[in-house]
Structure 1
Amino acid sequence: MRPLNLLLPLALMGFIAQAQAETTQPDDPFFPIEELRKAQRFPDALQAIQTLLAQDPGNRRALRLQVLTLDDMGASQQAWQLMQAHPEDFATYEREKVEDDRIAHRIRWGTAYAADEVDREKETRNALALLRQLQDQHPRQTTWEATRLRVDALSSLNQLQRHQEVIDGYDALKRDQIDVPAYILPTVADSMMALRRPEDASAVLLTYLKTSPGDVNARILLSYAWIEQERFDRALPLLEQLSREQPAWPRREGALRGYENWDKYSADMTLAMARSFAQDNASAERALRALIAIGPTDSALQAALGAVEARRQRPSAALERYAMALTLDPRQRDARFGQVDALTALNRPDQATAVLSDLRTRYPEDLRGPRAQRALDLKRGWQFRVEAGRGRSDAREGGTSNSPLGSRDGSLLLEADSPLMDDRWRAALLARDDWASLSGEHVRYRGVGAGIRYRYDRLGVSVDALQAIDRYDRGATTVAVKADWRFSDAWTGTVAATTNDPEASLQARRLGITANSVGVGATYAPSDTTEIATKLSHFRYDDGNRRDQLGIDARQRLSSQPHLLVDGLASVYTSRGSDGADAAYFNPSRDASAAFGVRLDHIGWRRYEREFRQILDVTVGPYWQEGYGTSIVPAISYRHRWAPAESNRLEYGVSWSRPVYDGRRENRVSLDVIWRWGTAE
Structure 2
Amino acid sequence: MSRPTAQPVASSLAAALILAMFLPAKLTAAGLDDAQAESRYAAEMAHAAALSDQKRWVDALAIYERLHTQTPQEPDVYHRRVMTLADLGSASLAWSLHQARPELFSDAERARLSADRIARLTVWGGFRPLDEPRRLQDMQRAADARASGTGALEPDPSAPLRQGFDDLVILNGLERHQETASRYRQMRADGVDIPPYALAAAGDSLLALRQPEASIEALEDAAAELPDDIDTQVVLAYAYLESERHADALRHLQQIAANEPAWPQTEDVRVGYRNWNRYSADSNLAMIRAYSEDPAGAQAMLAPMTRLAPSNPDLQAKLGIVLLQRGWEDQALERFDIAHTQDPRNLEARIGQVNALVAQQRMDRAATVHGALLDTYPDNVHVQRLDRQWRAGTGAQVEIAATRGRSEGQNRTASTSPLGTDDGGYAVSVYSPLLGDRWRVGAFREDRWAEYEGPRVHNRRHGVGLRYAHDRLDLDARVARSNDGFDDATSLALDAGWRFSEVLEGRASIERNSADASLQARASGIGADTIALGLDWTPDERTALSGELRQWRYDDGNRREGFALSGQRRLRVEPRFAVALEGDLYASRSSRDDAPYFNPGRDAGWNLAAAVDSIHWRRYDHAFSQRFAAGVGQYWQEGFGSAVIPNLQYRHNWQLGTGRQLDYGLTWSRPVYDGARETRLSFDIALRWGGN
Matched ranges for 1:269-668 at <5 A: 269-396=283-410, 399-473=413-487, 475-579=488-592, 581-668=593-680
Distance 1:277 1:136 in 2: 41
Letter of the 1:663 counterpart = G
2:127 to 112, 135, 144: 112
RMSD of aligned residue pairs (Cα, Å): 3.0
Which consecutive residues of structure 2, in runs of 5 or more, have no partner in the other structure? 20-41
For 1:519, the aligned partner's letter is: A
Cα contact 1:92–1:141 (8 A) shared by 2: no
Higher mean Cα deviation, 384-393 or 128-137?
128-137
Structure 1 counterpart of 2:144, which letter?
A
The counterpart of 1:127, out of the listed 117, 124, 142, is 142
Contact in 2 for aligned 1:566/1:600 (Cα 8 Å): yes
Q: Distance in 2 between matches of 1:129 and 1:479?
A: 65
Match of 1:258 in 2: 272
Does 2:261 align with 1:247? yes
C-alpha spacing 1:240/1:141, structure 2 compared with 1 (3 Å)? closer
State the 1:58 CA deviation.
6.6
Equivalent residue in structure 2 for 1:674, among 681, 686, 691: 686
User: CA distance change for structure 1 residues 392 and 140 in 2, over 3 Å: closer, same or farther?
Assistant: closer
1:94 matched to 2:88? The reply is no
**Secondary structure at the residue paired with 2:417?**
coil
How far apart are the structure 2 equivalents of 1:149 and 1:62?
28
Q: Which moved more, 1:532-541 or 1:74-83?
A: 74-83
Distance 1:476 1:23, change over 3 A: farther
Shift in alpha-carbon separation, 1:588–1:116, aligned structure 2, 3 A: closer
Measured in 2, the distance between the counterparts of 1:140 and 1:462 equals 58
How far residue 345 of structure 1 moved from its aligned partner, in angstroms, is 2.7
Provide the TM-score with structure 1 as the length reference.
Answer: 0.90
AA paired with 1:364?
P
- CA deviations on 1:601-638 (whole Å, 9 max, x unpaired) are 21111111111111222222222222222222121111
In structure 2, relative to structure 1, the CA distance for the partners of 1:67 and 1:447 (3 Å cut) is same
Displacement of 1:375: 2.6
**1:129 CA displacement:** 1.0
**Cα distance in 2, alignment partners of residues 623 and 373 from structure 1:** 49
The change in CA–CA distance for 1:575 and 1:432 in structure 2 (over 3 A counts) is same
Deviations 1:571-616 (A, max 9, x none): 121111122x433322222222222222212111111111111122
- Equivalent position of 2:161 in the other structure: 147
Distance 2:599 2:263 in 1: 71
Q: CA deviation at 1:385?
A: 0.9
Match of residue 9 from structure 1:
none
Distance 2:105 2:10 in 1: 9
User: Which residue pairs with 1:3 in the alignment?
Assistant: none
In structure 2, the residue matched to 1:182 is 196
**Separation of aligned partners in 1, 2:631 and 2:291:** 29
Q: What is the 5 A alignment of 1:24-35? A: 28-30=43-45, 33-35=48-50
CA shift, 1:117, in A, is 3.0
Partner of 1:193: 207
Q: Hey, what's the Cα distance between the residues in 1 that align with 2:265 and 2:149?
A: 44
Per-residue deviation, residues 100-138 of structure 1 (Å, max 9, x unmatched): 21221122122233234323322221221122118899x
Alignment deviations for residues 423-442 of structure 1 (CA, whole Å, 9 cap, x no partner): 22222212121122223542
| 8 Å CA contact 1:24, 1:31 repeated in 2 | no
- Residue 32 (structure 2) aligns with: none
Q: In the aligned structure 2, how far is the partner of 1:284 from the partner of 1:76?
A: 43
Comparing 547-556 with 302-311, greater Cα deviation is found at 302-311
Select the residue among 150, 166, 170 that pairs with 2:184: 170
Please report how far the alpha carbon of residue 206 of structure 1 lies from its aligned counterpart in structure 2 after TM superposition. Answer: 2.4
Q: Distance in 2 between matches of 1:46 and 1:340?
A: 54
State the one-letter code of the partner of 1:312.
Answer: R
Report the Cα distance in structure 1 between the residues aligned to 2:82 and 2:502, rounded to whole angstroms.
63
Report the Cα distance in structure 1 between the residues aligned to 2:511 and 2:170, rounded to whole angstroms.
63
Matched residue, 2:29: none
Partner of 1:21: 15
Of all paired residues, the percent bearing the same amino acid is 38
Q: CA deviation at 1:91?
A: 4.5
CA–CA distance in 2 between the matches of 1:18 and 1:384? 82
Which residue identity lines up with residue 512 of structure 1 in the other structure? G
Q: Does the Cα contact within 8 Å between 2:339 and 2:346 map onto a contact in 1? A: yes
For 1:530 and 1:140, locate their aligned partners in 2 and report how far apart those are by CA, in whole Å. 56
Is the CA contact (8 Å cut-off) linking 2:299 and 2:319 kept in structure 1?
A: yes
Q: Which residue identity lines up with residue 235 of structure 2 in the other structure?
A: L
Aligned twin of 2:88: 73
Secondary structure at the aligned position of 2:683 is classed as: strand
Distance apart, 1:551 and its partner CA: 0.7
Secondary structure at the aligned position of 1:118 is classed as helix
Aligned counterparts of 1:569 and 1:397: Cα–Cα separation in 2: 31
CA–CA separation in structure 2 for the residues paired with 1:455 and 1:418: 14
What CA distance in whole angstroms lies between the structure 1 residues aligned with 2:105 and 2:304?
A: 56
CA contact (8 A) 2:155 2:164 kept: no
Contact persistence 1:340–1:355 (CA under 8 A): yes
Alignment of 1:5-16 (within 5 A): none
Q: Which secondary structure state, in structure 1, belongs to the residue aligned with residue 111 of structure 2? A: helix
Question: 3-state DSSP class of the match of 1:106?
Answer: helix
Q: What does the per-residue CA deviation read over 1:483-516, in whole Å, with 9 as the maximum and x for residues that have no partner?
A: 1111221111111111121212222222222211
Give unmatched runs, 5+ long, in structure 1: 1-5, 7-11
Paired residues of 1:444 and 1:470 also in contact (CA < 8 A): yes
SS at structure 2 position matched to 1:339: helix
Which digits, 9 at most, give the CA deviation of each residue in 1:437-494, with x for residues without a partner?
A: 2235422212122222222222111121221111211x31221111111122111111
Say whether the 8 Å CA contact 1:649–1:677 is kept in structure 2.
yes
**How far did residue 20 of structure 1 move?**
8.4
C-alpha distance in structure 1 between counterparts of 2:117 and 2:533, whole Å: 71
Q: Is the 8 A contact 1:135 1:149 kept in 2?
A: no
Task: Check 1:116–1:555 CA distance in 2 against 1; reply closer, same or farther (3 A cut).
Answer: closer
On the 8 A contact 1:532/1:555 being kept in 2, the answer is yes
1:351 maps to amino acid: R
Alpha carbons of structure 1 residues 47 and 212: separation in structure 2 relative to 1, 3 Å:
same
